[in-house]
Amino acid sequence: MSTFQTLAGFRDFYPDDCAFKNFIFERFRQSAITFGFEEYDAPILEPMELFMAKSGEEIVSQLFNFEDRGGRSVAMRPEMTPSLARMVGARASTLRRPIKWFSISEMFRYERPQRGRLRSFYQFNADIFGNRSSYADAEIILLGIHVLKNFGLTAEDFHVRLSDRQLWTLFIRSHNMGEDDIPGVLGIIDKIEREEPSKTIESLDKICKGNGRKIFDDLLEIRAIRSISGIREFFKKFANDIFAERIDELAQLLARITAFGVSDFVTIDLNIVRGLAYYTGFVFEIFERSGQSRALAGGGRYDNLIKRLGYADLPAVGFAIGDVTLGNLLKEKNIVPKLSKNIHCFIVYSTQTEKLALQQATMLRGQKINTDYCLDPTTFSKQLKMAAQVNAKYAIIFGEEEAKTGHAKVKDMLSANEIVVAIDRLVEVISR
């Protein structure tokens, strides 16, 4: 008989995996709340057009989409940002600003499954709306760093590669290319690390009419820059105030990050342009330092998206961290705490004491104390073994003698100390 398996790129979560996932989600939630963000959610299934128009070609080619029974084109969300922009846009006039929202939710992309990339994964998204200054960009980058530090990762483990789409856009414009060429050139830059140079030059040539080689040489130089002074030096030759102003803004953002004491985590790196179509300003991706793995997180400023969805002109900046690359990294670094079953009391009983014991179990559960017991009472020694296996803090033993006088033995499973306690004092004793 054939057995069933999950679809490629999808995961079953056995209790251990689920405990790990919940641990990650709790840290995400804790970090966001610490930074003053509020949680939201949105539908998993959306009208396909929402992503067609807003996410960019790459994501659209990876959509899980189908026609529903009513003949509508729908898609499983590949990312949260378009749904979020719709939600915020729809209530833009009534929401108190700045709007700082986060979510933890499942995404679907029909990618080739590989290490760090699946077809179903979770993302922690955090976004700020209603602030055009780089304070908001800094806050988002700080949160990204805080989340990862909150797992015990350090500046030796990961870094934020910070770039600027606007600077790239100015560069493209200064080469007499039209506005329509900008997405194409950004796409070429995005893929440059993985592409043969001759192919990149050929693609550039097509857009900028025979100037491909010259632009390619410039790209090589820009991609090697790692400092503000390096950026100033390179763009000096354009002798253009717009470049200088934009570089000043980048320097200001870096100064803010430095003031928060996390500059060790941030590297200037113009290789990052981001695959998604809606970004308009500073963009970043977070990578493991070794550079071995796929990105841990990515984000940036997207000031036009809400307006393009037909709502108010509301600036936005945000990012998302995925659970897959992060989970791999935490396991590799061995910094996952022991995630055992969290049982406080394990009730040990016999058929003679069953009534009293199970009443007490119900009482403890009613007090929100995690309590378990063996479903078929066997010998006390086997039950105590089970108590140890579930890592119970206490075993509460209802022996016949003690039960007769309304008492039970409380055994501390770590020290093995036992004391006899009147059952009306059980909660007090095990709560110490």
Per CB under 6 A, residues contacting ligand HAM are 79-81, 109, 111, 117-118, 121, 123, 125, 127, 276, 295-299, 318-322, 324-325
Q: Which is nearer to ligand HAM, 46 or 79 (CB)?
A: 79
Q: How far is the CB of 3 from ligand HAM (least distance, A)?
A: 26
Distance CA 172, CA 154 (A): 36
Closest distance of CB 20 from ligand HAM, Å: 15
With beta carbons less than 8 A apart as the criterion, state whether 142 and 253 touch. no
Min dist. Cβ of residue 242 to ligand HAM (A): 25
Cβ 265 to ligand HAM shortest distance, Å: 16
H helix or E strand, kind and range, residue 335:
none
Q: Which is nearer to ligand HAM, 117 or 175 (CB)?
A: 117
Question: At its nearest, how many Å lie between ligand HAM and the CB of residue 395?
Answer: 42
DSSP state of 296: S
Q: How far is the CB of 48 from ligand HAM (least distance, A)?
A: 17
Smallest gap, in angstroms, from Cβ of residue 368 to ligand HAM? 35
- Strand 45-47 and strand 73-76: the pairing is antiparallel
Instruction: With residue 330 as reference, give the H or E element that holds it.
Output: helix 323-332
Asked if residue 98 has a cis previous peptide bond (ω within 30° of 0), the answer is yes
In the complex with ligand HAM, which residue's Cβ is closer, 286 or 348? 286
**CA angle (139 as vertex; 138, 140 as ends), nearest 5:** 90
CB of 300 to ligand HAM, least distance (A): 6
Q: Least distance in Å: CB of 280 to ligand HAM?
A: 11
| Integer CA distances (angstroms), 31 to 36, 95, 144, 278, 401, in order | 9, 22, 9, 26, 51
Region of 331 (left: φ > 0; alpha: ψ -120 to 50; beta: rest) is: alpha
Give the residue with the Cβ less far from ligand HAM, 256 or 301. 301
The Cα angle at residue 240 between residues 239 and 244, in degrees rounded to 5: 105
* Shortest-Cβ-distance residue relative to ligand HAM: 322
* Nearest to ligand HAM of 111, 372 (CB atom): 111
Amino acid, res. 406: G
Q: What angle do CA 48, 50, 54 make, to 5 degrees?
A: 125
Nearer to ligand HAM, 319 or 346 (CB): 319
Residue 6 amino acid letter? T
Q: How many CB atoms lie within 10 A of CB 35?
A: 17
In the bound state with ligand HAM, the residue whose beta carbon lies nearer, of 125 and 353, is: 125
**How far is 285 from 384, CA to CA, in rounded Å?**
50
Q: Tokens 């104390």 identify what position?
A: 369
* Complex with ligand HAM: residue 79 or 139, whichever CB lies closer: 79
Measured CA to CA, the distance from residue 334 to residue 328 in angstroms comes to 10
What is the closest distance, in whole angstroms, from the C-beta atom of residue 333 to ligand HAM in the complex?
16
CB-CB contact of 299 with 165 (8 Å): no
To ligand HAM, the closest distance from the beta carbon of 260 in angstroms equals 20
Answer yes or no: are the C-beta atoms of 142 and 100 closer than 8 Å. Answer: no
User: Which secondary-structure segment (H or E) carries 149?
Assistant: helix 134-149
Task: Give 135 or 380: the residue with its C-beta nearer to ligand HAM.
Answer: 135
CA-CA distance, 59 to 83, in Å (whole number)?
15
Q: Which is nearer to ligand HAM, 143 or 231 (CB)?
A: 143
User: Which of 111/249 has CB closer to ligand HAM?
Assistant: 111
